[in-house]
Amino acid sequence: MILITGGAGFIGSNFIHTWLEQFDESIINIDSLTYAGNLHSLEILNKKELHKFILADINHFEQISQIINTYKPRAIIHFAAESHVDRSIHNPQNFINTNIIGTFNLLEVSKQYYNNLDEKQKDNFRFIHISTDEVYGSLSLNEPPFTEQTPYAPNSPYSASKAASDHLVRSYYHTYGLPCIITHCSNNYGCYQFPEKLIPLVIFNALNNKNIPIYGDGLNIRDWLHVEDHCQAIINILAQGKIGEVYNIGGCNEKTNLEVVNTICNILDKLQPRADKKSYAEQINFIKDRLGHDKRYAIDNNKIQNELNWAPQYNFESGIYKTVDWYLNNQEWVNNVISGEYQNWLNIQY
Ligand code: NAD
Ligand code: DAU
């Protein structure tokens, strides 16, 4: 049995889907269901009986301790976080609470749990911390991509809080011998992503006849990775990753935001043309830049490719087409997560 945090979020829910497609091992999913957590993302699951959802907050030590000591997982994969940069600029408090203090709680519980395992169980146990490439800061256009040796230089409250959590994880490995591995992934895209992030937001706004907001000049660059490729990388890391190591994960798909938005508009023009036959690109609207907006992220993924035999299966063209198509066919999912109806549903459920 493995345990994950944040499994009702974008990457966590995709991870559960991927895991249950490949394995018959059960998975415990701890999530506090913030606005970003959505159980609808887990409705159509292979081997549903192997997934157990537990409503819990990683900030609550006793609650988390009780769950981990009851289920006795052989691994913990920590996805739960406040993840949206713009929200961190607007109000950083939740980012400090969940990303730093929540991770600290989880590490403390894990340390106590690990210390009580027998030697064989200790050898098998892993704590995988899902971090981000944003902790490395921003690249100029001619700098080489981030490697595992790139110094930390976080620029937003979000990336600073993730960097702080990384340092805590590192310290629990070095000080207490907790068998931790840290991953740094680039921008993910795919199904079940909350429509506050660029790609689902563009699709949603385009289809709903709203402006498509592009910050600044639209020339900031992100290195896009399909979420299923990220999940497979984590599975390889859990199986073969070296304790105490760091792995960068990225798709080598550097695109400007403008390129990404135009690609989505072109796909939508073909799959669901506007009634007036004009392009969705007409809805693009350049707006005020994000504060402290990082110019460019790019990942050097040589280490994970060479050591763990991982390679992305999607290129950007195939991945973005599949993603746009998924959102077109799952507008009910989008409407549920944004309408407040989901919150009402939660009140009925819990
Ligand atoms: P997300 O915002 O979609 O999901 C986060 C999940 O964590 C939600 O289900 C939420 O309810 C849950 N959560 C938040 N606070 C919690 C708490 N206190 N206790 C329990 N659960 C809590 O995020 P995501 O995009 O799926 O990102 C998952 C992880 O991957 C994060 O750690 C993020 O930093 C990292 N990451 C994301 C990307 C990306 O492009 N999305 C890239 C690299 C790394
Ligand atoms: O690099 C990994 C990170 O990628 C993760 O750690 C974060 O959790 C994840 O949110 C993502 O951060 P970004 O800030 O890069 O993603 P976002 O989708 O918010 O923005 C992508 C780019 O698009 C960024 O340059 C800002 C720009 N943007 C974003 C939005 C929401 C716009 O131009 N307009 C928008 O409306």
pLDDT of residue 343: 60
| Catalytic (active site) residue 332 | no
pLDDT of residue 338: 84
Question: Is residue 247 a part of any domain in this protein?
Answer: yes
Average pLDDT for residues 139-160, to the nearest whole number? 98
pLDDT of residue 339: 76
Full DSSP string of 254-295:
EEEHHHHHHHHHHHHHHHS--TT---GGGGEEEEPPPTT---
Q: What is the pLDDT of residues 297-314, one digit of tens each?
A: 999 999 999 999 999 999
Structure tokens at 24: 């018959």
Atom of ligand 1 nearest to the CA of 34: 11
| Catalytic (active site) residue 123 | no
How much is the pTM? Answer: 0.97
Out of 31, 134, 228, 300, the active site residue is 134
Distance between Cα 54 and ligand 1 center (Å)? 16
Q: Which residues pair with 27 in a beta bridge?
A: 2, 51
Structure tokens at 112: 């106590």
For ligand 2, residues with CB inside 6 Å are: 83-85, 132-134, 186-187, 197-198, 201, 213-215, 220, 222, 257, 290, 297
Tell me the one-letter amino acid at 32.
S
Out of 113, 114, 136, 158, the active site residue is 158
If you ran DSSP here, which 8-state letter would residue 97 be given?
A: I
Question: Is residue 284 a part of any domain in this protein?
Answer: no
Ligand whose nearest atom lies closest to the CA of 3: 1
Tell me the one-letter amino acid at 156.
S
Nearest one of 103, 82, 75 to 4, comparing CA atoms: 75
CA distance 58 to 1: 19
Q: In percent, how much of the chain has pLDDT > 90?
A: 95
Nearest one of 197, 338, 185, 312 to 264, comparing CA atoms: 197
251 in Cβ contact with 146 (< 8 Å): no
Helices (H), the chain: 10-22, 61-71, 85-90, 93-95, 103-115, 119-124, 157-176, 198-207, 227-240, 257-271, 302-308, 316-329, 331-338, 341-349
CA distance 306 to 79: 25
| Catalytic (active site) residue 133 | yes
Q: What is the pLDDT of residues 37-47, one digit of tens each?
A: 999 999 989 89
pLDDT of residue 340: 73
Question: Is residue 96 a part of any domain in this protein?
Answer: yes
Ligand whose nearest atom lies closest to the CA of 194: 1
Question: Is residue 216 a part of any domain in this protein?
Answer: no
CATH number of the structural domain spanning residue 39: 3.40.50.720
pLDDT of residue 344: 66
Higher-confidence position of 339 and 111:
111
Assess whether pLDDT exceeds 70 at residue 74: yes
CB neighbours of residue 239 within 10 Å: 10
The protein residue whose alpha carbon is closest to atom 4 in ligand 1 is 9
Q: How many domains does the chain have?
A: 1
Question: Is residue 22 a part of any domain in this protein?
Answer: yes
Distance between Cα 73 and ligand 1 center (Å)? 20
Q: What is the pLDDT of residues 253-286, one digit of tens each?
A: 999 999 999 999 999 999 999 999 999 999 999 9
Average pLDDT over the chain reads 96
Structure tokens at 57: 């907050």
Full DSSP string of 134-194:
GGG----TTSPPB-TTSPP---SHHHHHHHHHHHHHHHHHHHH---EEEEEE--EESTT--
Domain that holds residue 234: 2-194+224-254+293-314
Average pLDDT for residues 164-170, to the nearest whole number? 98
Distance between Cα 25 and ligand 2 center (Å)? 33
